[in-house]
Amino acid sequence: MTLPELIAFAGRHPYLSLGLAGLTVALVFNELSGLFRGYKGLQPAGLTALVNRDNALVVDLRPAADFGKGHIPGAKNVQLSQFDPENKQLAVARALPVVLVCKTGQTAGGAARRLRKAGFEQVYVLDGGIGAWQQAGLPLAKGR
């Protein structure tokens, strides 16, 4: 297809052309915002590998009741309202990868940005949250 043919197509189908342009802009924006957010997204299999290979610290930001019903084995529960990157227990993990987990993966992003500002270099968020972990068929631990 040549450029004049593309221009003619766009002239005959303005709504399709605008839709394609809008989708393209949205995709580019999404990819660029991912590059500049300061932390990396992680799939459940990647989280498993990171814990096994690099002894990553998994921090579950969900309420204690939800955490007790089922959480990633080895995860530490920290309430979002009490989440403090300068906490002594968290500060010792500054050299380790830290993976933040919440219900859907949205809430953990704000906490991840706070960790990056506090100087943590290896910060990850479990994409899709605990729901993605469950969908992957990975085990949950119950209780505290």
Looking at the annotation, which residues are catalytic?
102
Of 79, 73, 83, the closest CA to residue 120 belongs to 83
Quote the CA–CA distance of 129 and 144 in Å, as a whole number.
Answer: 19
Cβ contacts of 44 within 8 Å, gap of 6 or more: 126, 128, 132, 133, 135, 136, 138
Place of tokens 């500049």: 36
